[in-house]
Chains A and B, each alone.
Chain A
Amino acid sequence: MNKTLEYDCCIVGSGAGAGPVAFELAKAGHKVLVLEKGKWYKEKDFRKDEQLYRHSIFRSKIADERHLLEEPDGDEWSSDTTSQFWGGNIVGGASNFMSGYFHRLKPEDFHLVSTFGKIKGANTVDWPISYDDLEPYYAKVENIVGVSGKVVKHPFLEPRSTDDYPFPPTAEHPIASWFDNTCNQMGLNPLPMARGILSQPFNGRKSCEYSGYCGSYGCASGAKASSRAALLDQAVATGNCEILTESKVYRLTSDNKGNVTSADYFDKGNQSIKVRAKIFVVACYSIESARLLLSSPGEKHKEGLGNNHNQVGKNLHCCAGGTGHGIFQFDQFSQEQVEQLKTRGPFFNRALQDWYFINDKKAFDKPVKGGTIDFVFDPPSPTADANDQKWQGDNLLWGTPLKQKIKSHFTQSKDFKFEVFCDWLTNDNCHVSLAPNEKDKWGSPVAKVKVGFHPHDLKVASYIVKKGKEVMKSLGAKTVTGNAFTSPTSNLIAGGLRFGNDPKTSALDSDCRVHGTDNCFVTDGSFMPNGGSVTPTFTIYANSFRVADKIINQLGK
């Protein structure tokens, strides 16, 4: 027999889009239920163990659920199933496994069309809100989830309502000062990077322990500002927020006015359960949120919830850009410098935004939006690193030559990395729909993700990757590689349910309410018309706090 549960607010998903709503509503005294399809792991579970990540312990298995991915393949489209888009399917979602590079968007990101004009073949639109509308919420995120950093005056600094970050910067690797000197000599503006990582204990969370195993590894100290550690634990502590795990929402039902009446989920035993609530919030990652709406037709939503204008799933965007590496050979440096390079634990924490806007007539006939370069370390993965060494050109290497190559890689050089973040222009070939013939283990159609890119992205990314390589070379790297890419990033996907004032060109209104409903909101990265040229998590958090205020206002009526 089916059970029914009742709450003020039911939230689907528990990641960065969900945490702020749960936190704010629970603190305001509203009864909140969070439905998470994964399990609830805690700090003690996040051991620094490559095996945890290699065996998808914290992510959905491809046998259970997957995506159907279509990518450009010459003039054709490839079509294959993949599990690569599962970023973290546990309480706190992918925010457990973020690096926490917390850049704000810039005012211009909210008005790209007005600022730079239209680009043929791109669906870019101005946002229905401005930077000023979001600024107070960036400040709120810094204070509540905990952002560590240092504001320095530079030509690209966003307007701020506060002078500085609430926490001092996390500890820095010696390479950071090399970087500052080099960039200053090159006439660039080296920026300390703010991090969603605590440099000091806060709210029962410990500060960073600098194990050097950050990024893709879960955080064992609670310093990383995951939705789980920074928000949900506190929401639950109010007594007003309940989190149900292994609860997979497969449908939202709606009434004859178009409003959502229930979220239906399968529990661990595959029993279908209905949750009734005044407000529903969907925040289960861009692709999956669009999929849930498409899977939820109703009397007023024949083609899926909010899809009367065929906007649900449209204008998905990945993160365009590229990566590069600089290999520093120890035999080219003094003993003291080598010791500095070998330091493990503190962060690189530097970024360049000198090309966030590009005004270079030699490369582009008019000013264009560019991007950010973050200088980082990859999370250590020694067995993968060693395994990479076994190929010499086309041949497999073994025996003493293999041992020597591995030894040299580990003990005679250090690899620093840069990552370039650019806008992935929204276009008619990048969207989510329901796969016709592929179902998940609960019997629901999986999402089909088509990821066409705009050639402009590659041009911008290549331009900035080249700059990153120049900096690496000047820093003293002997070998410098770098590539712009057009493949989708498997994380950092947003859009698909962009917000706007016109239901014909957007899926959500400016409050992130699903068009055609009064009581259903989407608070993950789906709302973003464009991603900004930075990682979106900080902005997702900020927007979710903004929408939480709208919801509290609505519940109070």
Chain B
Amino acid sequence: MLKASNTINSNGSLAKKGSTKAKFVGALSSGLNRRAFLRQSSAAILIAGIAACKPDIKMPTTAEPNQPTPKTGLTDRFSFDSHQQASIKAVQIQLFPEDGDGPSANDINGLDYLEWALTDLDNQEDGDGDFIQKGVGWLDSLSEQTKGSQFIKLSLEQQNEVLQKISQSSAGENWLSLLIYYLLEALLLDPIYGGNPDQIGWQWLQHQPGFPRPNDQTNYRVFQ
């Protein structure tokens, strides 16, 4: 197959609006690179391989990424505190709601999956956990400023208004986009990784997995 690279140079022609860095590694990645460019504009989809358009532009205040920790297993978890957990869960259910058609963020183990995925070496190098944690603080500041209370104490409607508001900024949009990225992994990756319980995501989307599927002995973390 052709693995065409997409030209995103310093002019950032395809990069996201408001981005401060056009990441060449991602921009020119082949279809297999997870650090794929931020978004594929519909006019310029040259590859549709296994790239997963993970947003990699962080808040300007993002600190240095966490130091990678030693090899992780399938049971490790990133440590959010209980307030962060509750806040992320509340955001996730807004992003992927219980709406009567298809599984919700809770049904796909959205938070559990996220906490596990953030122990991944590549995700740690990207500083995702740190970025998500900082975002919670930011979300609460905005909630208190505009609605007078922490995010989790707002009504669903107020929460949605706050999310709409933060999505107006590039950093806020990237934060939400990153949470969606992990939710969609929880929806569609093999259940071995903790999301997609009983193949609930595959069933909803009538997706037929490949075979042989990964298992406890043979999955990407074992090779990593």
- List A residues at the B interface (Cβ < 8 Å): 44-45, 47-57, 59, 62, 69, 71, 73, 78, 80-84, 87, 97-99, 101, 209, 211-213, 215-217, 220, 319, 321-323, 325, 342, 344, 376, 378-388, 390-391, 394-396, 398-400, 402-404, 406-407, 410-411, 415, 417, 419, 421, 481, 483, 485-492
Contacts and interface: CB of A to CB of B under 8 A. Distances in A.
Interface in B178-210: 180-181, 184-185, 187-190, 193, 202, 204-210
Contact of B95 (A52, A57, A388, A399): A399
Given A54-B50, A73-B11, A81-B25, A383 B1 contact: no
A49 B219 contact: yes
Contact of A49 (B11, B36, B213): B213
Interface string B89-107: 0000011110101100000
Contact of B210 (A56, A73, A212): A212
Interface in B40-61: 40, 42-54
> Which 4 residue pairs are nearest across A and B when measured between Cβ atoms?
A48-B210, A213-B210, A80-B24, A54-B34
A481 to B, nearest CB: 7
Given A49-B214, A383-B188, A403-B102, A69 B28 contact: yes
16 contacts: A48-B212, A49-B219, A51-B190, A51-B219, A71-B9, A73-B9, A220-B212, A319-B2, A381-B51, A396-B180, A399-B99, A402-B95, A483-B43, A485-B46, A490-B4, A491-B3
B52 A384 contact: yes
A47 B223 CA distance: 12
B167 A45 contact: no
Contact of B32 (A48, A54, A380): A54
Contact of A396 (B44, B122, B173): B173
A345 to B, nearest CB: 8
Given A319-B2, A398-B96, A402-B95, 10 more contacts: A48-B209, A48-B213, A55-B120, A379-B31, A383-B52, A383-B184, A384-B51, A390-B180, A419-B2, A489-B5
Contacts of A78: 9-10, 24
B1 A399 contact: no
Given A211-B210, A388-B48, A47 B1 contact: no
A527 B2 CA distance: 21
B150 interface: no
Interface of B: 1-7, 9-11, 17, 24-25, 28-34, 36, 39-40, 42-54, 94-97, 99, 101-102, 120, 122, 160, 163, 167, 173, 176-177, 180-181, 184-185, 187-190, 193, 202, 204-215, 218-220, 223-224
Looking at chain B's contact residues, is the secondary structure mostly helix, strand, loop, or mixed?
loop
Contacts of A59: 32
B211 A48 contact: yes
Looking at chain A's contact residues, is the secondary structure mostly helix, strand, loop, or mixed?
mixed
A433 to B, nearest CB: 19
Contact of A55 (B29, B96, B122, B181): B122
B223 A45 contact: yes
Contacts of B204: 407
B11 to A, nearest CB: 7
Nearest to A321: B2
A406 B167 CA distance: 20
